[in-house]
Amino acid sequence: MSQTDPALQSLKRTRGGRERLLQAATDLFRTHRFAGTSLQMIADRLGVSKAAIYHHFKSRDDIIEALMEPVVVDAETAIARISDLPREEHFRSALDFYAAFTVKHRDIISTVFFDRPALGSVLSGKVDLLVDQLAVLLAYDNTRAEEARAKMMIYGIAAVVAEPRQYALDDDDLLNLVTCLANASQ
């Protein structure tokens, strides 16, 4: 593909080019998983050369980091907000947040859930920290049993959302399912 190719120029020059690239990567990660998706596959999906991908990102790792950044910020912001609430409000607020969060970010949750070992230590470390912080908010007390129950709830909900067959459900139906699951674990 030459430097004057319209597809390459469109991907380079438009602000939406980066977003289109991230959406194509997200779709491919969901279908083929992170480990099974190459930069060439992303380029092919967009109808551009691999060089056009390199204009925005140096590697698949850079792409997943860009996809994870708003998800991590969303979680960190909510966890900080919920942590400032009175203790008796932590569980319900954290549960409501997490149910909506997993549905909103289900594509990334799926990638993290199924491809965790391939994500690298930095991203895995961020995920571990967020899970630990959320578990504190979902635990009724500071016992190991409560921490285990809270983490089972977190990973159980993530598993439901990450399951590829759930993509047949629209966001509202999936949110209802996740909320029922979360409420059952109280």
Per-residue pLDDT tens for 71-130? 999 999 999 999 999 999 999 999 999 999 999 999 999 888 888 888 888 788 999 999
Note the pLDDT of residue 186.
63
pLDDT digits (tens, 9 = 90+) for 5-37: 555 455 555 568 899 999 999 999 988 999 999
- The 10 Å Cβ neighbour count of residue 107 is 19
| pLDDT value of position 71 | 95
Distance from the Cα of residue 135 to its chain's centroid: 17
pLDDT tens-digit readout, 55-65: 999 999 999 99
Within 10 A of 168 (CB to CB), how many other CB atoms are there?
8
pTM for this prediction: 0.82
Angle, vertex CA 31, rays to CA 164 and CA 10, nearest 5: 135
